[in-house]
Amino acid sequence: MLAAYAVHAENSRGRRHPEAAHPYRNEFERDRDRVIHARAFRRLQDKTQVFTRRYSDHFRNRLTHTIEVAQIARTVAAQLGLNVDLVEALALVHDIGHPPFGHAGEKALDCAMRAHGLAFDHNLHALRIVEDFEIRYASFRGLNLTFEVREGIIKHSRDYASSEFPNLAEYLLDRRPPLEAQLIDVADELAYNTADLDDGYEAHLLHLSDIRDGVPVFRDCLCKAEKLFPHVLEKLKFNEALKRTLNRFVGDLIVNTQKLLRDADIRTLEDVRNHPKRLVMLSHDVEHERSQTKAFLYSHLYFSAALEPEKAVAEKVITDMFQFWMESPQALPVSYREKAREDTLARVVCDYIAGMTDSFILDQHQKHFGAEK
């Protein structure tokens, strides 16, 4: 049973290109399936989350991270009475616009674009992917997703001002996104905060003693795990503590969001859209614990000396290839050369690079610069 404040598929604002109803799938199930079958979605399996394959091939990548976000988001959505099909579609598509090499790659690509008076935004790029780049259907370009999924791509993690982005005016920029979209941003945070602790520990870049000292919520959960399982391997104690940490975050998100909805007397989707603040959030105390976890990861993992060589490679490869195609546009594939007649060359080169996997751009760099993979 969906809550009255959830998005109901039968009330969708529809698609750019009208389509007949499907005999056994609702509109958001169709969107979910279209995302899963998209080339851009498959490419996530070879895009860095934190650790590149040059470091190891058994840590999380963009695809496995996306699946974990979807799992968390579905769990919370079901408890809140939200539209689980819409939530799943949004979770699966939320990272589809990321370039190769994780945040280092995104930073390098944005820097290259700013030299031309432009910028790179992975949410905006994701919208370009689903509206234009994916070519699967005879009747239209893109995936022809519902308004609600396209809106969620844009608004799940940040607010865009209509004065700065007039081209996005159709997405109700002056109003809040539905709870389904709000949920994705928090689920994303909870997924990578805990997963990155796991991968960092597995990579021996984070030690149990350091995590215990630097992440109070983990320390509390570890104490409980050690009392319950005093004689098991350290790794199993770590796993038990991490499981309890994630459960604490997710459980608090459910309970606190329910409280916020009651306190604000949220009854309809219009109430959600008109509310002055987002409503899917952790309680004050648990949000502080999450912030402490994130701060620990930044200081001990994301900017660790061990990962600096990988970041340097990522930034060099993307910078080199961007400059190469700017100076040699004739080396671009035909389809991108054609796009350059309608858009700036910098944007076309950016689009080309952003769609690449780690492996493909490394191959291109080796081909044109003789760099080792």
DSSP string, 259-302: HHHHHTT--SHHHHHH-SS------HHHHHHHHHHHHHHIIIII
- State pLDDT tens for residues 277-288: 999 999 999 999
User: Hunting for tokens 């190469």 — which residue is that?
Assistant: 324
Beta bridge partners, 61, equal 48
Query: Do 304 and 341 belong to one domain?
Result: no
Q: Using CB atoms within 10 A of its CB, is residue 362 exposed (0-12), middle (13-18) or buried (19+)? A: buried
For residue 1, being part of any structural domain is answered with no
Whether 323 and 290 share a structural domain: no
- Considering the domain architecture, whether residues 273 and 318 belong to the same structural domain is answered as no
Q: Give how many domains the chain has, as a whole number.
A: 2
117 and 147 in a single domain? The answer is yes
Please check whether residue 294 lies inside any domain of the structure.
yes
Backbone angles phi, psi at 143, to 5 degrees: -100, -5
- The model carries a pTM of 0.95
The last residue of one of the domains, among 264, 289, 308, is: 308
pLDDT of 373 over the 90 cut: no
Residue in this structure with the two tokens 């008076």, named with its chain if needed: 117
User: Distance between CA atoms of 281 and 295, rounded to whole angstroms?
Assistant: 18
User: Do residues 202 and 74 both lie within one domain?
Assistant: yes
Give the mean pLDDT of 95-112: 96
Residues 99, 208, single domain; the answer is yes
In a domain, 4, yes or no: no
Residues 338, 304 share a domain: no
Asked whether residue 236 falls in the same domain as residue 340, the answer is: no
Angle, vertex CA 183, rays to CA 156 and CA 41, nearest 5: 60
Residues 39, 103 within the same domain: yes
Residue the block writes with tokens 């690509």: 109
pLDDT at 51: 83
Amino acid at residue number 35: V
Q: Does the pLDDT at position 371 exceed 60?
A: no
**Mean pLDDT of the 272-299 span:** 98
pLDDT at residue 52 tops 80: no
Range of the domain at 322: 309-369
Q: Where does the pLDDT of residue 6 fall: very low under 50, low under 70, confident under 90, or very high at 90 and above? A: very high
The label of the residue with tokens 């099909």 reads: 85
Phi and psi dihedrals of 11, rounded to 5?
A: -105, 15
Q: Is the pLDDT of residue 58 over 90?
A: no
CATH code of the domain in which 226 resides: 1.10.3210.10
Distance of alpha carbon 279 from alpha carbon 276, whole angstroms: 9
Report if residue 2 sits inside a domain.
Answer: no
If asked whether residues 13 and 144 sit together in one domain, one would say yes
**What's the token pair of residue 79?**
């408890």
In a domain, 257, yes or no: yes
Q: In this structure, are 298 and 357 located in the same domain?
A: no
Do 359 and 254 lie in one domain? The reply is no
Give me the mean pLDDT over the 326-347 stretch: 95
